[in-house]
Amino acid sequence: MRRAPAWILGLLAASIAAQLAWHGTRPAAQQEEAGLPPAPPAAVLRLASFGESAAAARLVMLYVQGFDVRGLDYARLVGWLRAALALDPLSAYPLFAAARVFAETPDPAASRVALQFVYEEFSRDPDRRWPWLAHAALLAKHRLKDLPLARRYAAAIDRQTRSSDVPLWARQMEIFILEDMNELEAARIMLGGLLERGDIRDPNELRFLRHRLEELEKRVK
């Protein structure tokens, strides 16, 4: 094998060093500072994904969850969540994120937008989507202190679910809401019920929910 001239070797080493130095001075890549852009229609996302709708739906969720909840435009957020759900209507990710992440914001107005999204989408597939509306009912009662809203959500679970897979405690959510129990007790009962039935199998989701429960315990104490 021939030896390359020394100046070429020097040029290669210097250019690599310059590349590393350039990147060393740049800030780490972050989500756009301008905030969440408006969501494109689901049909456009389907076209852009060349038919890989299931993958596109999940990539949309990874993109959306990268934004800081504080200062997020919830109207736009709901557009993205709706698009993700339209791409894969059987995916639980958009409703999970809406109920468990975005609705738990300290901003009540933003929380209501996320809960309304969960409520509207629940009606399209009640037997599959009731766990997120059940959580929405708890949030409406304990975070928003809006008992009529919590009862409306609880009543919707009872009225619209048909499958025998829906547990009794979920159907009787309205009684559960009216009982004088604090948020921690209610969350424990709900999580316990879901775990007992094997509804939560994903290790990441389990870790996330346990972490949320610990946070709640600290806050209640």
The two tokens of residue 12 are: 């290669």
Residue type, 64: V
> Pick from 24, 203, 219, 221: which binds other proteins (CB under 8 A)?
203
| DSSP one-letter string for 42-106 | HHHHHHHTTT-HHHHHHHHHHHHHTS-STT--HHHHHHHHHHHHHH-TT-SHHHHIIIIIITTSS
> Pick from 11, 12, 18, 52: which binds other proteins (CB under 8 A)?
52
- Binding of other proteins by 43 (CB under 8 A): yes
What size, in residues, is the chain? 221
> Pick from 53, 149, 161, 166: which binds other proteins (CB under 8 A)?
53
- Binding of other proteins by 178 (CB under 8 A): no
Report the site for other proteins in 183-202 (rule: CB under 8 A).
202
- Binding of other proteins by 214 (CB under 8 A): no
Minimum gap (Å) between residue 33 Cβ and other proteins: 21
Minimum gap (Å) between residue 102 Cβ and other proteins: 11
Minimum gap (Å) between residue 56 Cβ and other proteins: 9
First-last CA distance in the chain: 73
The smaller minimum CB distance to other proteins, of residues 11 and 47, is found at 47
| Residues contacting other proteins: total by CB under 8 A | 30
CA distances from 191 to 62, 118, 151 (A): 24, 18, 19
Judge contact between 85 and 95, C-beta under 8 A: yes
Judge contact between 146 and 158, C-beta under 8 A: no
Residues that bind other proteins in the complex, under the rule CB under 8 A: 41, 43-44, 46-47, 50-55, 57-59, 62, 65, 88, 90-93, 96-97, 100-101, 202-205, 208
